[in-house]
Amino acid sequence: MKQKRVFQYVFIAAAFALLIWGCPKKAEVTASPENRQEISGKETTAPSPAPQPDATMRKIQETGVNERTPSSPLGLKPVFFDFNKSVIRNDEQQVIRDDAAWLKAHPAAKIRIEGNCDERGTKEYNQALGQRRAVSAKKFLTDAGIAASRISLISFGKEKPVCSISIEECWQKNRKDDFVTITN
C-alpha cells in the first residue's frame, strides 16, 4: 500500500514537472528582426537608418497598396489592428459592421478570415497573434448574427505582407484581418 502511494506521488510530481517544462515561453518581440546583429555571442539590435520621408512615401505610393482595398472581389473590407493587439479598434468597428451587413445580405456566402501581422516579432508569436485577431473578428461577426459555420479562420502571421518597408505606415497596413469569400 505504501509503495503504491509513493508511486502515485512520483507520478504526479513527474507529470507536473513535464507540464511546467513543456509550457511555451513568451515570445520575444523585437523592433526589427532584420536589424539584429550578433556581437561576441550576444544579440543586439542595430539602429536602423532613418528613412527619407519623400523617398519612403514615394515607395509606398508605388506599391499601390490601398488600406481599404477590398480583400474579396465582392467588397468585404479588411479590419486593421494596433501593434501587438487583437481587439477590434473602435474606428474599425463600422468596417466590420459593414462586412456583417454584406454577409447578412448574402446568406449563402462563406468567408475565411485571414489574420495577418507586421514583420516584428518571431514567426511563432505572429502566428498566434494572427490567430487571435481572426478569432476576435469571428466573434464580432457571430455576435452580429452571422452563423459561425459560415466562417473559417487561418493565420498567416507575418508571411503575407502587403508592404515591406520597415516603417510604421507599412507595418500598419500589414496588421489586419482579410475577409475572403470561399466556395465549397
Determine which helix (DSSP H) or strand (DSSP E) holds 99, and give its type and residue range: helix 93-105
Residue 11 lies in a domain: no
Whole-prediction pTM value? 0.62
CATH code: domain of residue 127: 3.30.1330.60
Q: Is it the case that residue 176 has pLDDT exceeding 80?
A: yes
Q: Is it the case that residue 17 has pLDDT exceeding 70?
A: no
Residue 80: give the domain boundaries.
64-182
Distances (CA, A) of 37 to 9, 41, 45: 47, 10, 6
Residue 70 lies in a domain: yes
Give the pLDDT mean for 144-161: 95
Contact between 104 and 145 (Cβ < 8 Å) = yes
Instruction: Tell me how many domains the chain contains.
Output: 1
HSE at residue 129, side-chain half, CA atoms within 13 A, is: 27
Q: Is it the case that residue 34 has pLDDT exceeding 60?
A: no
